[in-house]
Amino acid sequence: MTARTLRKAVQEVADVPNVDLHTDAHPGYTKIGQEARSHEAADHRYGEYVTPNGVGTNPVESYFAQFKRSLDGTHHHVNRVHLQRYVDQFDFMYNTHNLNDTARMRRFYGQLEGRRLAYKPGRSRWR
């Protein structure tokens, strides 16, 4: 990955000047890290996986590893058109993993008011 590709990916999902960027020590993050509110990098080359401030990439690596296993084990095939829906579903489950089933369903139903799930593109979206 180049600095340009990383910059594009980060800018698509974050307001860079207002974000605390946590990365590994890949040099492609250096310039965009200077533009972020803060930037900490764990340098895996030297066996550093968590910085002295507790910053590391293990949580995000774990998230994506679990997401990929979820797709492989549950859905078996993912259509790019619906990828965001798979991500949203996994994200909800991941972020509520410490809730019991009743609390998770209450939170889920609490987010439904005023929303409509429509399949056709261009109609109301689930978000």
**26-56 pLDDT tens trace:** 999 999 999 999 999 999 999 999 999 998 9
Residue 62, number of CB atoms within 10 A of its CB: 11
Strand partners, 24: 42
- What count of Cα atoms within 13 Å lies in the side-chain half-sphere of residue 7? 12
Structure token pair of residue 20: 């605390």
What CA–CA distances, in Å, run from 30 to 1, 27, 41, 105? 13, 5, 9, 42
Cα three-residue angle 54-35-40, rounded to 5 degrees: 15
**Looking up tokens 């974050």, which residue turns up?**
14
More confident residue, 116 or 63: 63
Phi, psi of 99 (to 5 degrees): -90, 150
Q: What is the pLDDT of residues 94-127, one digit of tens each?
A: 999 999 999 999 999 888 888 776 766 655 555 4
Q: What is the pLDDT of residue 39?
A: 95
Could you tell me if residue 109 is left (phi over 0), alpha (psi between -120 and 50 degrees) or otherwise beta?
A: alpha
